Amino acid sequence: MIGPVEIVTIGFAEGRFDGSILPEIQKLVDAGTIVIVDAVIVRKDADGAIEILEVEQLSDDPDVAALGAIIDHYDGLLNDEDADVLAASLPPGGAAAILCFEHAWIVPVRDAIAAAGGELLDTVRVPGPVVQEVLDAISAEA
């Protein structure tokens, strides 16, 4: 049984997805915090032409080849529609990566909850900037 899955989109307005962020992602994978289960790279050239690189194509592109090496298994959770929606939002010359990962760190906790007769009902992700806005508002009221 797979743990909670999250999809993150990382944009590069100037199209410079060169793999330099991958060591930090690799650290999370190596620590067992996450398991990458799918990824797509989308690029839009200056003329607006779209290039979509699926996981199985990543080894053909030297800039993103290392991404394929950190994908534990390919579940196919991302589809063409995901890539098309992202491509439409990219500026000319932009690039983005969609990463789908399992929150592996929660799996033992989920299993312990189930063994105790409970059930993990939901997980909610609140983006850091939203949390910061709330904290700033609380500080301003104090």
Mean pLDDT of 81-98: 88
Looking at the predicted structure, is the pLDDT value of residue 133 above 90?
Answer: yes
Place of tokens 């298994």: 73
Burial 44-54 (b: 16+ CB within 10 A, else e): beeeeeeebbb
Write down the pTM of the prediction.
0.78
Looking at the predicted structure, is the pLDDT value of residue 138 above 90?
Answer: yes
- List the chain domain ranges: 5-141
In the numeric block, which tokens belong to residue 49?
């032409």
Place of tokens 């033992």: 108
Helix then strand then coil, in percent of the chain rounded to 5, is: 40, 20, 40
pLDDT band at 120 (very low <50, low <70, confident <90, very high): confident
- pLDDT on residue 3: 82
Q: What is the pLDDT of residues 4-24, one digit of tens each?
A: 889 998 998 787 777 788 889
- pLDDT on residue 64: 65
Q: What is the pLDDT of residues 25-81, one digit of tens each?
A: 999 999 999 999 888 888 888 898 988 887 666 666 666 677 777 886 777 788 888
Which residues have CB under 8 Å from 103's CB, separation 6+? 3, 4, 5, 6, 33, 34, 123
- pLDDT on residue 124: 82
Contact 67, 22 (CB under 8 A): yes
Amino acid at 35: V
